[in-house]
Amino acid sequence: MTSPPPYLRIAALIRDRIASGDLAAGQRVPSTRQIVREHGVAMATAAKALGVLRDQGWVRTVPGGGTIALGPPRPDGAAVRAPGAGTPPLDRAEPGSTRAMVIQAAIDLADREGLTALTMRRLAAHLEVSPMALYRYIPDKDELLRQMADAAFGAQEPPDPGPPGWRAKLELSARTQWRAYRRHPWLPTVMHSSLVRPPAVPSGIRMVDWELRALEGLGLSRHDRLHTVLALDGYVGGIAASNALEVQAEHDTGISGRERIAADRPLHAELFGSGRFPSLQAALPAGATTLTDLDELFEFGLRHQLDGIAAMLARER
């Protein structure tokens, strides 16, 4: 089992001090600068540790007064139950199955309403438990998103060893990723938050490793193999990210892409009627409400991505 990241370990230490009474309610907890000095971490790590404690209800920031302890938090939002009435289903489940249940509920909520609708409080209400109950299984929203991405991206992994030939393997990988992104429009927002500093999502790491093995023994350097895989995955994720932004905008505004295009039609007519964009005007079908079908664009780009890799390999022989 991997050890928790530094910010969670620091948060746990401060939380234990509050729970034991060493830091009484109203007392100032260590500041970010104190945490940096005492634990040898970056300022961002210290700030994140205090942020976790705020989210969990253990501390509160007072303008001009620093961050103070609140004492053990009450389970706000918990339903009032008569003695002996029992606890919510979430509390009765085994920890492993409960964590999976929380993650799946979060995925369902994000699929239905987008990431901006996903908060720990909203998720707790959906599961009919107190927000504090969730923190027994998921320490914060960042970890929740990471585990959601791992579950959604890893739902269908490429077989081992997979089809013969590098091209068939990389094509299978690209299509597997595309299906995951189409099924969960929010997913590329997490998986492609950075292409060169990607999040530590185990299923994503396994996919990259599988792709790299597909290119072994073909004459490419380690550098070129890695760049080939990152460029291909970046293409798939980039197309999917465009869709993610459109879907999220629909969730946030209630206006569909087609409705937005319809509203912009007078402006388009004015722009194209000016004659300033003859090439684009000639390329578009008459009365088009979209430039192209997204899946069709993915297929076109994937074919030429793989053709480009084939040309590179031919030069290495």
CA 212/CA 229 separation, integer angstroms: 7
Q: Sign of the C-alpha dihedral, residues 248, 251, 253, 254?
A: positive
The pLDDT tens digits of the residues spanning 237-251 come to 999 988 888 888 777
pLDDT exceeding 70 applies to what percent of the chain? 87
Q: What is the CATH number of domain 6-69?
A: 1.10.10.10
Q: What is the CATH number of domain 89-139?
A: 1.10.10.60
Task: Output the pLDDT for position 288.
Answer: 63
pLDDT band for position 229 (cuts 50, 70, 90): very high
Query: Tokens representing 292?
Result: 């192209």
Nearest by Cα to 179 from 188, 190, 192: 188
pLDDT band for position 74 (cuts 50, 70, 90): low
Q: Three-class SS of residue 116?
A: helix
Helices (H), the chain: 6-20, 32-39, 43-56, 89-92, 95-113, 120-127, 131-134, 141-153, 166-183, 187-191, 202-214, 222-253, 257-273, 278-283, 294-316
Burial class, 133, CB count within 10 angstroms (exposed 0-12 / middle 13-18 / buried 19+): buried
Instruction: Average the pLDDT over 286-299 and give the result.
Output: 78
| pTM score | 0.68
End-to-end, the C-alpha distance of the chain in Å comes to: 44
Query: Where in the chain is CATH 1.10.10.10?
Result: 6-69
Q: 143: Cβ–Cβ under 8 A, 6 or more apart, which residues?
A: 8
Neighbours of 246 (CB within 10 A): 15
CA 30/CA 39 separation, integer angstroms: 11
Nearest by Cα to 208 from 224, 242, 232, 243: 232
Confidence check: pLDDT of 7 > 60: yes
Query: Tokens representing 273?
Result: 């009627």
Confidence check: pLDDT of 91 > 80: no
pLDDT band for position 157 (cuts 50, 70, 90): confident
Task: Output the pLDDT for position 234.
Answer: 93
The pLDDT tens digits of the residues spanning 163-213 come to 999 999 999 999 999 999 999 999 999 998 776 777 888 999 999 999 999
CA 279/CA 17 separation, integer angstroms: 68
Task: Output the pLDDT for position 86.
Answer: 33
Query: Where in the chain is CATH 1.10.357.10?
Result: 166-254+285-316
Type of residue found at 245 = L
Superfamily of domain covering 166-254+285-316: Tetracycline Repressor, domain 2 (1.10.357.10)
Query: Tokens representing 181?
Result: 């992104």
CA 239/CA 246 separation, integer angstroms: 11
Q: Which of 39-53, 90-104, 125-139 has the weakest average pLDDT? A: 90-104
